[in-house]
Amino acid sequence: MKQQLTNIWKDWRLHAIVLAIVLLTETIGTHSFNVGPGVVLLLPMLYAIIIGLALFFTPVIKEKQSKNAEPLIVLGVTVLIAKIGVIIGPSLPQIIEAGPALLLQEFGNLGTILIALPVAVWLGLKRESIGMAHSVAREPNVGLIMDKYGFNSPEGRGVMAIYIFGTVFGAVFMGLISGFLATWTPLHPLSFAMASGIGSGSMMAAASGSLVAAFPGMENDILAFAGASNLLSLSTGLYMSIFIGLPLTERLYQFMTKKKNNTSVRKGA
């Protein structure tokens, strides 16, 4: 680990590329456009992800820089979480006042199973859909699926597909959708701050960044609620998946595939 960190700090090519991307995206700045009554915010983070992804397919970034950049994401999110931890303190009364909404938020995440799993089965996916639909497929959930089904199982392939997809596109999606919905719907911005804490630091950062850009006067409250929500999701989300999410996905998958097979048999007859 020590040698890996040494190699990262000595990779001046990587640092120069990152600095250039940051300077470019900050120069472009934040832009927005209206879609109906809502507003879509385009933040520097979004530009940085797109530019970095595009550069990966050019000679500018080599495999060495790509591998060295991975641990830097964790370090960057750690700094963000430390900042949020400092902000949470003064906002504790508001967070405590929100009480049940924060504590029960994980049950809301189960609602995605009812949407994602039927779509996956309808598209023709088999047991891969269990790994794909039971959660947002972050690190704890990947570990859960690997432990129960194995890495080479259909469920393992499914959860890894969503993990990779979420890593590449999750922050972009969360950054766009949070700002749009917060300005399009009558729901309070702090409800979207709580919804941005799904157990992923990068996705939370993108979502809360859009909310702060849309409601700059509520910056501290938005970051505090998003951070507290993300912390609760990290601490309780895995247990929710073990005891409720994954068993529910298994049962629904068996029910839907059995019904689908019966319908196919009747049509064949």
Reported as a single tens digit per residue, the pLDDT across 218-248 is: 988 898 888 888 877 776 777 888 899 999 9
Kindly report, residue by residue over 166-180, the tens digit of the pLDDT: 777 787 788 888 888
Structure token digits, residue 79: 């700094």
Q: Which amino acid is at 113?
A: I
Q: Where does residue 30 rank: exposed (0-12), middle (13-18), buried (19+ CB within 10 A)?
A: middle
The model carries a pTM of: 0.66
SS3 41: strand
Query: How does the average pLDDT of the chain come out, rounded?
Result: 80
DSSP string, 70-127: HHHHHHHHHHHHHHHHHHHGGGHHHHHHHTHHHHTHHHHHTHHHHHHHHHHHHTT--T
Paired with 32 in beta bridges are 41
Contact 97, 231 (CB under 8 A): no
- Indicate whether 142 pLDDT > 60: yes
Percent of the chain whose predicted confidence (pLDDT) is above 90: 18
Asked if pLDDT for residue 187 goes beyond 80, the answer is yes
Close Cβ partners of 75 (under 8 Å, ≥ 6 residues apart): none
Q: What is the pLDDT of residues 71-96, one digit of tens each?
A: 776 666 667 667 666 666 666 666 66
**Are the CB atoms for 211 and 193 separated by under 8 Å?**
yes
* 209's tokens: 């960044």
pLDDT in tens, 34-60: 665 455 667 787 788 788 888 888 888
Structure tokens at 151: 């890495």
Backbone angles phi, psi at 135, to 5 degrees: -165, -175
Check residue 266 and give its pLDDT: 57
